[in-house]
Amino acid sequence: MNLIVIGCGRVGSELAFHLFKQGHQVCIVDQNDKAFLGLPMDFRGRTLEGDALNQIILRRAGIETADGVVVVTNFDMTNAVVGHIAQTYYKVPSVVVGNFEPRYRYIYDAFNLQVVSPSHWGAQRIEELLYSLEARMVFSAGNGEVELYEFSIPQAWEERLLSELLPDEGCQPSALTRAGRAMLPELDMTLKLGDLLLVSATLEGMTVLRQRLENQQGQEV
């Protein structure tokens, strides 16, 4: 694919190199030519110095034939505007932008852009790891608004119904593995010790689920 990465900071340089190693044609743009010094020595994609708000620079980068554009400069306003231009004017099939200041997230939402917010996602992951329940997060969608968790059913919940364990909102069962065989779980199924349950949940839903598990375990002690 023909891909453009705008912003050669930590995220941009790492992404551009990874995409290049995957065999894509990559052009990375930054208004400071010294930023390119952060690229690995064996990066063989194109580097282009210039302001991405300048359409001449965007055309030189190949935006008119690009399959995807990633905008991860240090400036949220630049990311939002360039992403919007790439998506609406140049009709780039895939546009992803970085949001570094959470207070500006509403701008990306107004432009209907696909957004990755490292600070939001990172803060939520740290909060998740603070909890004591050994529930392993195996997939994060969007910026962590919904995540997929995997955990083993403890003895305290053996012979209880799945519907009793899961909260009414913010948590849905995705799969249950028993004796090595995976199945789509029904809410009226009886849980067994050692069942491996996969649930998709919001932070609020997972908080309630943790509390139910921990409360039941405390009662069994």
How many percent of the chain have pLDDT more than 70?
Answer: 90
Task: Tell whether pTM > 0.75.
Answer: no
Closest to 120 measured CA to CA, from 104, 131, 136:
104
pLDDT tens figures, 34-88: 999 999 999 999 999 999 999 999 999 999 999 999 999 999 999 999 999 999 9
How far apart CA 152 and CA 150 sit, in angstroms, is 7
Highest mean pLDDT of the ranges 73-77, 129-133, 134-138: 73-77
| Other CB atoms within 10 A of residue 130 CB | 7
> Could you give the residue range(s) of every CATH 3.40.50.720 domain in the chain?
2-117
Give the residue-averaged pLDDT of 176-190: 91
pLDDT at 132 (0 to 100)? 46
| Model pLDDT, residue 221 | 42
Q: Which residues contact 173 (CB under 8 A, 6 or more apart)?
A: 162, 166, 185, 187, 197, 198, 199
Q: Does domain 2-117 have CATH number 3.40.50.10480?
A: no
What is the model's pLDDT at position 70? 96
pLDDT bin (cut points 50, 70, 90) of residue 128 is: low
- Chain mean position to CA 203: 14
pLDDT of residue 103: 80
Q: CATH 3.30.70.1450 in the chain, residues?
A: 127-220
User: Per residue in 141-159, pLDDT tens?
Assistant: 877 788 898 888 988 899 9
CATH of domain 127-220: 3.30.70.1450
